[in-house]
Amino acid sequence: MASVLPPGCELIGAGWSHADLNARVRPWCDPALQPSLLVVLAATRTAEVLGISAAGATTASRRYTAIADAELLLHGPAHQPHWPLPPLPAGVSPALISWAATQRLALAPEVAAIGLHQPPPFPHLRFEAPSLGAADCLSSGQAMSLDRVEQLWERGRRLGSVLRGPLVLAECVPGGTTTAQAVLCGLGVPVDDLVSGSARQPPLALKQSLVAAGLQAAALHSPVQPKPLVAAVGDPFQALAAGLIEGAMESGQPLMLAGGSQMLAVLALALTSCAPHERPVLASQLLLGTTAWLADEQLAETLMVDQRPTPPAFPELLQRVSRFLELPVLAIASGLRLQLSRHQQLRDYELGHVKEGVGAGGLALLAQLRGIGTDQLLADCDRAMDALLQQPAGCTGGGSLGSKP
């Protein structure tokens, strides 16, 4: 495997032959194929539950996290943003890593906005009326109307069907790991103790209680169907992304799902909605790219079994989703590490803060697959952090940026 993947990259899960792995990563290494990047911003009021997310230290700040992250990704750390980065308990937005990678790759991100609390101050794709707003908290069992989900799904399918080259799909949805957990549980995948989040110690019990309440309130009929499930306990990103993945089967283009549990959830939704004979075809087009921090994470409430440390959570989550789908899912972690960074905000990633988001893992992986070394990416991240810290007070979002050297 070492001859196929760049140094430091980790194949998550087993069972891939050298030839199969090489065939799946080849489009992402080919300099003749320039991928496009779509980042979907969406909102769910699940993010407003106290303690559910660290993607913004307060409920109010999480309402504009997605816009602030997109501004950083689009304009870079030296740009004075309309919406400052929200304060975080520690670390810095993963959009900084994503920006560094996109600069090296010469990618021009396209951003879609669905159900945000404020209109983005930059050009973006719209797939529905902005007045529809954020999805309700999943605990209600009525997060969105079924009509809204069906329309987003169909618009995503149309987009996927007309792709003309490889696409990296990324997201920024505060509260999205909890809606991902709800969707996976609703499909029948046992994942309660395996879904992480932006906090160093994700609130597993709180997530489980919200998911249980939402699924009980929804009272979905068995077998559970993907679209009613998303309407009950999901978020707008899931509807659009699942449709896009499904539509990619028509265009035949490779997709890199840049993320973690949220991407596994939309992958499961898309494949479950396909006919059984179509699923292997679609799965063969997909690659999930994530960060080493997520791939290595041991969740706090499951650290020890019989006095032995348990394996990392994400590989087990991947295995359970693959087993449910009866298909292997290819996932690779980037080799980017930040322990040698000059900035504490970046070294915080090595301590378990933030971990993933805004496509950081997939974009760092893509950069490596295209010959960019992790030492270059680290240096770029450090320089980006230098520029971010030079912003006037209030533009960096405070939090750890204002309190750490």
Show pLDDT as tens, one digit a residue, over the chain (405 residues). Answer: 445 799 999 999 878 888 999 999 999 999 999 999 999 999 999 998 988 876 666 677 778 889 999 999 999 999 988 888 877 788 899 999 999 999 999 999 999 999 998 899 999 999 999 999 999 999 999 999 999 999 999 999 999 999 999 999 999 999 999 999 999 999 999 998 899 887 788 889 899 999 999 999 999 999 999 999 999 999 999 999 999 999 999 999 999 999 999 999 999 999 999 999 999 999 999 999 999 999 999 885 544 455 566 789 999 999 999 999 999 999 999 999 999 999 999 999 999 999 999 999 999 999 999 999 999 999 999 999 999 998 775 555 433 332 222
As a whole number of angstroms, the distance between CA 299 and CA 382 comes to: 28
Per-residue pLDDT, 2: 42
For tokens 């991240």, name the residue.
381
Cis peptide before 223 (omega within 30 of 0): yes
Per-residue pLDDT, 307: 55
**Contact indicator for 331, 288 with CB cutoff of 8 Å:** yes
As a whole number of angstroms, the distance between CA 87 and CA 183 comes to: 29
> Considering only CA atoms, which of 254, 184, 200 is closest in space to residue 88?
200
Please give the C-alpha separations between residue 331 and each of 89, 344, 360, in angstroms, as whole numbers: 29, 29, 14
As a whole number of angstroms, the distance between CA 315 and CA 317 comes to: 5
In DSSP terms, 255 is beta-bridged to 167, 286
Per-residue pLDDT, 398: 38
In single-letter form, the type of residue at position 65 comes to: T
Per-residue pLDDT, 401: 32
The reported pTM is 0.93
As a whole number of angstroms, the distance between CA 77 and CA 385 comes to: 7
- Which CATH number is 10-374 given? 3.40.50.10210
As a whole number of angstroms, the distance between CA 347 and CA 365 comes to: 19
Per-residue pLDDT, 252: 95
DSSP-derived secondary structure for 47-95: GGSTTS--SSSSHHHHTSHHHHHHHHHHH-TTS--SSPPPP-SSS--TH
Domain spans in the chain, listed from the N-terminal domain onward = 10-374
Per-residue pLDDT, 203: 84
Tell me the two tokens of residue 311. Answer: 């394996």
**Contact indicator for 320, 268 with CB cutoff of 8 Å:** no
Tell me the two tokens of residue 52. Answer: 């559910």
